[in-house]
């Protein structure tokens, strides 16, 4: 087993006006991702998010045209050509999957969760999300069937405007392509390299290491394992879910979708308790690679101060380096309460 949780610790020294101008030391950690080796910075600034009432945003969105509301969807959203999706759209229960007008990949779909224009985070239950995730899986399966060049799949979610969503009506996005994104490529190459060197998959060794370490491990829900990311991707710590038995969205059965959505709804309950009312989520998938495993990251998004500043700044935008103001280990127990 060769999982390493590498970090460099430093301290910034300053004369602190909040401590009677005495000499103070502020710790800094630079952490290395156990899979990809990518770095990120971790501080402990005792930040606590203020609750921001979403009703003003929701009211404003209701005054604007919403193409995803039931009376607009037929007239105002595109259809897939019949050779891609014979019926033009995929429907599962109240969910509809339609083409994405933003061409994020060779095949890009948007699955609208339901008829409800706004679903508060506390109402994102497995039942509420299930139809859209089933539609996303049907879409990925269909694309794999009609285009053998496609090797990369992802299911993605920007929930509410702080996470970059321009439409309040909840929807997830499915991208299928021949070329990976940077994150997909780093995961795939690092996973392959680990397998070549160690003869085991990274993913199984990593789950065991996190369980043993017991600082970030949250729990297991049937076929899914949940933990706080060692190198957080967000302003506040993000959560990582690993499926130890599957490499692809296409392999997911109804039970796997349900396990994932059960865990996801627990994460959302934790976010809600912490006043985090917006998030990004991605499920990363390949088509068929022996060493790779399906995994998902769920990253809190927020406007940290009353001026409405973004939680991402120059480090993320131009240095490609995340920073997090709370160590994930300091919050793990609080997340676990929702999983026990």
For Zn ion, the binding residues (CB under 5 A) are 66, 68-69, 117, 169
DSSP letter for each residue of 8-45: EEEEEEEEEGGGTTEEEEEEEEEEE-TTT--EEEE---
Q: What DSSP state is assigned to residue 178? A: S
Contact 156, 192 (CB under 8 A): no
Nearest CA-CA partner of 87 in 138, 127, 158: 138
Nearest-approach distance from CB 299 to Zn ion, in angstroms: 24
Residue 68 Cβ, how far from Zn ion at the closest point, in Å? 5
* 246 close to 293: Cβ distance less than 8 angstroms: yes
Is residue 226 within 8 Å of residue 33, measured between CB atoms?
A: no
Which residue, 66 or 176, is less far from Zn ion as judged by CB?
A: 66
Query: Could you tell me the smallest distance in angstroms from the CB atom of residue 256 to Zn ion?
Result: 29
Minimum gap (Å) between residue 123 Cβ and Zn ion? 15
Shortest Cβ 60–Zn ion spacing (Å): 13
Nearer to Zn ion, 168 or 296 (CB): 168
Q: Which is nearer to Zn ion, 169 or 287 (CB)?
A: 169
Q: Scan for tokens 């037929």, then name that residue.
A: 74
- In the complex with Zn ion, the residue whose CB is nearer, 62 or 127, is 62
Instruction: Give the shortest CB-130-to-Zn ion separation in angstroms.
Output: 19
Tokens read off for 67: 């193409």
Collapsed DSSP state (helix, strand, coil) of residue 83? coil
DSSP 8-class letter at 127: H
Residue closer to Zn ion (CB basis): 68 or 338: 68
Distance of CA 193 to the CA centre of its chain: 24
Which of 41, 117 has the CB closer to Zn ion?
Answer: 117
Q: How far apart are CA 320 and CA 161, in angstroms?
A: 22
Q: Which contacts qualify for 129-133: CB closer than 8 Å, 24 or more apart? A: 129/261, 129/264, 129/265, 130/93, 130/257, 130/258, 130/261, 131/92, 131/93, 131/94, 131/95, 132/92, 132/95, 132/97, 132/171, 132/172, 133/172, 133/257, 133/260, 133/261
Which CB, 66 or 299, lies closer to Zn ion? Answer: 66
Distance of closest approach, residue 122 Cβ to Zn ion, in angstroms:
19
């Amino acid at each position: 087993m060769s999982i390493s949780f590498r970090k460099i610790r430093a301290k910034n020294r300053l004369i602190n006006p909040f401590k009677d101008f005495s000499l103070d030391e502020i710790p800094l950690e630079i952490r290395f991702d156990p899979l990809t080796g990518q770095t990120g910075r971790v501080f402990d600034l005792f930040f606590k998010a203020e609750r921001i009432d979403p009703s003003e945003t929701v009211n404003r969105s209701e005054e604007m045209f919403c193409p995803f509301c039931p009376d607009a969807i037929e007239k105002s959203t595109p259809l897939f050509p019949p050779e891609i999706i014979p019926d033009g759209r995929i429907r599962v229960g109240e969910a509809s999957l339609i083409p994405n007008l933003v061409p994020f990949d060779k095949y890009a779909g948007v699955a609208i969760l339901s008829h409800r224009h706004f679903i508060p985070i506390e109402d994102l239950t497995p039942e509420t999300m299930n139809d859209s995730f089933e539609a996303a899986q049907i879409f990925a399966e269909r694309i794999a069937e009609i285009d053998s060049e496609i090797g990369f799949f992802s299911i993605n979610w920007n929930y509410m405007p702080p996470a970059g969503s321009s439409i309040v009506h909840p929807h997830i996005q499915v991208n299928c392509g021949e070329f990976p994104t940077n994150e997909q490529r780093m995961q795939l190459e690092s996973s392959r390299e680990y397998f070549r060197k160690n003869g085991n998959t990274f993913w199984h060794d990593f789950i065991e290491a996190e369980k043993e370490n017991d600082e970030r491990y949250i729990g297991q829900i049937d076929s899914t394992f949940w933990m706080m990311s060692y190198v957080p991707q967000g302003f506040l710590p993000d959560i990582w879910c690993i499926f130890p038995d599957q490499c692809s969205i296409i392999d997911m059965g109804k039970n796997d979708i349900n396990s994932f959505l059960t865990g996801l709804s627990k994460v959302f309950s934790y976010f809600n308790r912490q006043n985090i009312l917006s998030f990004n989520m991605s499920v990363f998938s390949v088509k068929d690679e022996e060493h790779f495993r399906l995994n998902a990251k769920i990253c809190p998004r927020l406007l940290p101060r009353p001026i409405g500043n973004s939680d991402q700044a120059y480090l993320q935008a131009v240095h490609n380096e995340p920073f997090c103001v709370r160590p994930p280990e300091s919050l793990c127990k609080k997340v676990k309460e929702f999983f026990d």
